[in-house]
Structure 1
C-alpha cells in the first residue's frame, strides 16, 4: 500500500525533479518559515555557495546522507569561492510534524541556520515550485543564486565546491588554455 501511495504522489506531482531547471538557470526564490515561524528567504544567502537541500525527517536516504553534508559544511563554510564567501545549506523539509523535523535537525547535528518548512509535506510550496517528486533532492547555487549542479550528492558535492573555490581558479586557467 505504501508503495502505491508513493507512486501516486510521484505521478500526481509529475515530472522529474530537475524538470525545467538547468545548470546556469537562476534558482527561483523560496520564502518559508524556520523553526521559530520567521520567514527565511533563499535569496538572503546570496554571496555564498548554497546547497539547497530538499529532505524530510522520515526519509532514510536523507538521514543517512546528513553526516556527509555536515562534514562538507564544516570543511567549506569559511572557504572563498569565485563569486562568494562561504558555503551554507538551505534545508527545505517536507515534514508535516514540527516536532519530528526539529528532532531530526538536533539528532543529525544540522548546525547551519537555514532550516525551513511550511509543514505541508509533499504539498510544500517550494517542493511544488521546484517539481520535487522524491527526496533527497538538491541544487548547488553559486554566490549569484545560479544553479551550478543538480543533485550533487556525496563526492560530487565536494567536487563541485572545489571546482568553484577561488584558490583553484588560477590553476584551472592553466588547464583551460
Structure 2
C-alpha cells in the first residue's frame, strides 16, 4: 500500500515541480508600473527607430515570431486593434502604436509573415538571434523575454501597464482612455 501511494505521489510531485518551475522561468520579469527599457533598431525601410520617440503614445510591444503558431493566430486580432485605434483621440496620449519585434534567425520568413498576415503598422523590428537559442536576441534579452508571444502595453510615460494582455484586454484598456 505504501509503495502504491509513493509510486503515485512521486510522479505527481515531479510534474508539479516541473510545471511550477516552467511557469516561473517563462514568466515575464517586468511587472505593471516598471519603466520599459529604451531600445533602438532599424525599420524595414532603413530608417532608425527608438522606443523613446513614442513617448506620449500608448505602445504595444509585441514580441512574436514567424514560426510561432500562437503568434500567427493572434496577428489578425493585432491588425484589428490597430485598425480600431490607429487614429483614436485619447485623453492622455497622442495615439496608439504597435511595435512588432520579430524574434527570428533570418529575415525572409519574418518579412513573408508580415506581408501574409497584413501587419501594416510602421514599427516592425527584426530582432536577430545571436545563436541557436532565439531568446538571446538583443531586444528580447533586454526585456527578459523567454517565450513568444510576449506583450507589454506601455502608457504615454513609458511605464508598463499590462504584461501579456489578451487582445480583448488591450481593447478594454484603450477604450477606457479614449477622449470624450
TM over 0.5: yes
TM-score by length of 2: 0.79
CA distance in 2, matches of 1:22, 1:118: 22
Residue of structure 1 aligned with 2:110, choices 78, 101, 106 = 101
Partner of 2:8: none
CA positional deviation for 1:35: 2.1
Cα distance change on mapping 1:118 and 1:36 into 2, 3 Å: farther
**In 1, are the aligned partners of 2:59 and 2:155 still within 8 Å (CA)?**
yes
CA distance in 1, matches of 2:148, 2:37: 19
**In 2, are the aligned partners of 1:93 and 1:101 still within 8 Å (CA)?**
yes
**Could you list the runs of 5+ residues in structure 2 that have no partner in the other structure?**
1-17
Partner of 1:115: 124
CA distance in 1, matches of 2:88, 2:149: 25
The number of residue pairs the alignment matches comes to 156
Over 3 Å off, 4+ runs: 14-17, 36-39
Classify the secondary structure of the residue corresponding to 2:97: strand
CA positional deviation for 1:149: 0.9
| Pairwise CA RMSD | 2.0
TM-score by length of 1: 0.81
Structure with max Cα Rg: 2
1:16 aligns with 2:16: no
